[in-house]
Structure 1
Amino acid sequence: MTETATKSRQRPFLKWAGGKYSLLDELDKHLPSGGRLIEPFVGGGSVFLNSSKHAEFLLGDANADLINLYQMLAVVPGKVARHARFMFEHMGDAESFAAIRTQFNNQQMDGPERAAAFLYLNRHCFNGLCRYSLSNKFNVPYGKYRAPYYPEQEIKEFTAMAHNCVFMNAGFRRTLALAGSGDVVYCDPPYEPLPGTSGFTSYSAGGFAWEEQVALAEHCFAAHERGARIVISNSGAPKIVDLYHQHGFVIHEVHGRRSISSKGSTRTAAKDVVATL
């Protein structure tokens, strides 16, 4: 793909740990065409936002706040934007951040305002992380950014696609149960930690244990038997490679743009996999 084509990619409007924007060229090689693209872990949405191979989208995620934001932007984008602009323009300090986070966690907002608050928290919190406590409270601290970017154009591009999308607040089991003949499924679960490292599993209050990785592979195999084509991204952890081989997946190695060491002197690019069925 040329540099010009790469630059034309649509960026997601959220910061999202593990987002696939930098791997879109690699993923595109393995993602087949189909009538509908199903994503059980839609996250920041880089993949569906840049799909030219699918006409419709079923987009699920276990994160209720993420799906609320997407749904509100699909039906009342103007209301979300008004709330969000006010927050970005007038509530950029640590005290305001704490106040919005408290209101957000105490369920003191209606749908559009809560959607705007989630966008605000995402852009103002530390590293754009999305993390919850065991009691399902958003608990990422203030990021101390001078002027967080308000993604106006990216939101407009998202809303222009939303009429082709169905958004589901659901775990992967419910979403995959809807996959069948003619569908393409792309799964981007929380990555299994590589040996000797710790993983990020708090994308929702319940986390994502090894048992979930096994269940995902099983449900993907079942969807394939119903006629769907499957693509999964994950780390190159040996147990993940073995799991996917056991279920008949073809394994493709890709070089992920993430480090596997906290020390700059020993930081190397991780080897990830894309598994297809």
Structure 2
Amino acid sequence: MSLANECRTDTPEPEARRVWQRPFLKWAGGKFTQLADLDALIPEGKRLIEPFVGGGSVFMNSNKHPRFLLADVNADLIHLYQMLAVVPDEVTRHARLMFGRLNNADGYAAVVDEFNAQLLAGPERAAAFLYLNRHCFNGLIRYNQSGKFNVGWNKSTKPYFPAAEIEAFTVLTHNCVFMNAGFRRTLSLAGEGDVVYCDPPYEPLPGTNGFTSYAPGGFRWDDQVALAECCMAAHQRGATVVISNSSAPRITELYTQHGFTLHHVRARRAISRKSSTRETANDIVAVLGGMNSGK
């Protein structure tokens, strides 16, 4: 087996005493708890590209990239980010009103109904998405087959309003381009000097039911294969690629076949209602290009 295909477990030691910036959104599969490991594996570059930006933990803690291209298929997420980049005070004002007046089951249901009926526009819709994220069960963003948000209320009457986290986010937005797009379109823009970090919906481990419905349509095995192929093409144009995923056997085989170097990192799952039943898993971070590829 070549060095490029070797499965490594000697992840570099995390940077000592660094304080990581928390994102302002709660996000299933968010990478805040893995930032030390990821930061050690994501190299410097002229631009960081994230086709699955999600809650934004990775880019918000990057000190290696002066510019960012941040994309997601979730149009509501990207709309919120774009509105915060342009009119942060207006979004925050609407959100504070919702947090202050609608912290109950009826209020939550009313926001869900208006949100799904497309009755809100611009900054107010962005604020509603923030409200739903902080008031729904575990911050789980899920849509039904009709594209309607359908997560229940978390029963918290005093949810945390992430003012400091929003401010930290808005400081970075002048260096960011936000794009509502799938990974194929986003990765087609990657080239020489870019660093790509992909955090797709994870392939379920054998015998488990994975959550892949962050947006209507889900994420199938064909998408996992297409992602690897698009990342290969980006690498051939000069980009370095880093991908997080589960340690499912066919994911390991897929990335190995495409010449990625595989690193194992520990991760604590956070979908279960009870913290005592949230499991620790062994995830994979696959790297193609740069100093971690064995080149």
- Residue 95 of structure 2 corresponds to 84
- Residue 135 of structure 1 corresponds to 146
2:218 aligned residue (182, 207, 211):
207
1:100 aligned residue (107, 111, 120):
111
Is the 1:260–1:269 Cα contact (8 Å) retained in structure 2? Answer: no
Is the 1:259–1:270 Cα contact (8 Å) retained in structure 2? Answer: no
Matches within 5 A, 1:51-200: 51-200=62-211
Q: Classify 1:151/1:210 alpha carbon distance in 2 versus 1 (closer, same or farther; 3 Å).
A: same
For the residue of structure 1 that corresponds to 2:262, the secondary structure is: strand
Q: Classify 1:208/1:76 alpha carbon distance in 2 versus 1 (closer, same or farther; 3 Å).
A: same
Letter of the 2:256 counterpart: H
Is the 2:24–2:162 Cα contact (8 Å) retained in structure 1? Answer: yes
Letter of the 1:229 counterpart: T
Is the 1:245–1:251 Cα contact (8 Å) retained in structure 2? Answer: yes
- Residue 31 of structure 1 corresponds to 42
Cα offset for 1:266?
Answer: 8.2
- Residue 293 of structure 2 corresponds to none
Letter of the 2:223 counterpart: E
Larger RCO (CA within 8 A; separation ≥ 6): 2
1:177-215 CA-to-partner distances (Å, cap 9, x unmatched) read 000000000000000000110100110001000000000
Cα offset for 1:146?
Answer: 2.8
Identity rate of aligned residues, in percent? 66
Letter of the 2:150 counterpart: N
* Segment of structure 1 superposing worse, 81-90 or 260-269: 260-269
Q: Whole-Å Cα distance in 1 between the matches of residues 133 and 102 of structure 2?
A: 14
Q: Classify 1:129/1:237 alpha carbon distance in 2 versus 1 (closer, same or farther; 3 Å).
A: same
Q: Whole-Å Cα distance in 1 between the matches of residues 210 and 233 of structure 2?
A: 27
Q: Whole-Å Cα distance in 2 between the matches of residues 150 and 203 of structure 1?
A: 23
Letter of the 1:112 counterpart: P
1:18-41 CA-to-partner distances (Å, cap 9, x unmatched) read 000000000011101001000000
Q: Whole-Å Cα distance in 2 between the matches of residues 194 and 31 of structure 1?
A: 25
- Residue 20 of structure 2 corresponds to 9
1:229 aligned residue (240, 244, 259):
240
Q: Classify 1:267/1:151 alpha carbon distance in 2 versus 1 (closer, same or farther; 3 Å).
A: closer
Q: Whole-Å Cα distance in 2 between the matches of residues 241 and 193 of structure 1?
A: 12
Q: Classify 1:2/1:34 alpha carbon distance in 2 versus 1 (closer, same or farther; 3 Å).
A: closer
Runs of 4+, deviation exceeding 4 Å: 259-268
Q: Whole-Å Cα distance in 2 between the matches of residues 162 and 261 of structure 1?
A: 32
RMSD: 1.8
Q: Whole-Å Cα distance in 2 between the matches of residues 66 and 38 of structure 1?
A: 16
Is the 1:260–1:268 Cα contact (8 Å) retained in structure 2? Answer: no
Q: Whole-Å Cα distance in 2 between the matches of residues 139 and 263 of structure 1?
A: 21
TM-score by length of 2: 0.90
* Segment of structure 1 superposing worse, 253-262 or 43-52: 253-262
For the residue of structure 2 that corresponds to 1:166, the secondary structure is: strand
For the residue of structure 1 that corresponds to 2:196, the secondary structure is: strand
Is the 2:268–2:279 Cα contact (8 Å) retained in structure 1? Answer: no
Q: Unpaired runs of 5+ in structure 1? A: none
Q: Whole-Å Cα distance in 2 between the matches of residues 223 and 207 of structure 1?
A: 23
Q: Whole-Å Cα distance in 2 between the matches of residues 124 and 250 of structure 1?
A: 39
